[in-house]
Amino acid sequence: MNFDKEFDASGLSCPLPILKTKKALADMASGQVLKMIATDCGSVKDMQAFADQTGNSLLSQSEESGKYIFFMKKK
């Protein structure tokens, strides 16, 4: 999937992956896509909840050898 920005939150625990996602989205334009990588399994539900509550779309999420990869499109 194409993306405009990427950041790696591997090794960080709740709530840092969400807080850093929010920060990463802040300087992106509407419609741009952020790729986020995390190792905290709690971030799977948290990223969905973040998307539901903020209106940013979670385009996809997948797991690859202990890493969770999210693509989020900015509202």
Partner 1 sequence: MTTKKMAIIASKGTLDMAYPPFILASTAAALGYEVQVFFTFYGLQLLRKDLSDVKISPLGNPAMPMPIPMPVMVQMLPGMESMATMMMKQKMKSKGVASLEELRDLCLEAEVKFIACQMTVDLFEFEKSDFIDGVEWGGAAMFMGFAGETDVCLFV
Give the active site residues.
14
- Residues 55 to 74 in contact with partner 1, rule: CB under 8 A: none
The verdict on 54 binding partner 1 (CB under 8 A) reads yes
- Binding test (CB under 8 A) with partner 1, winner from 4, 6, 14, 67: 14
Which of 19, 31 has the CB closer to partner 1? 19
24 binds partner 1 (CB under 8 A): no
List b or e across 5-33, with b for residues whose CB sees 16 or more CB atoms inside 10 angstroms: eeeebeebeeeebbebbeebbeebeeeeb
Residue 42 sits at φ, ψ, to 5 deg, of -65, -20
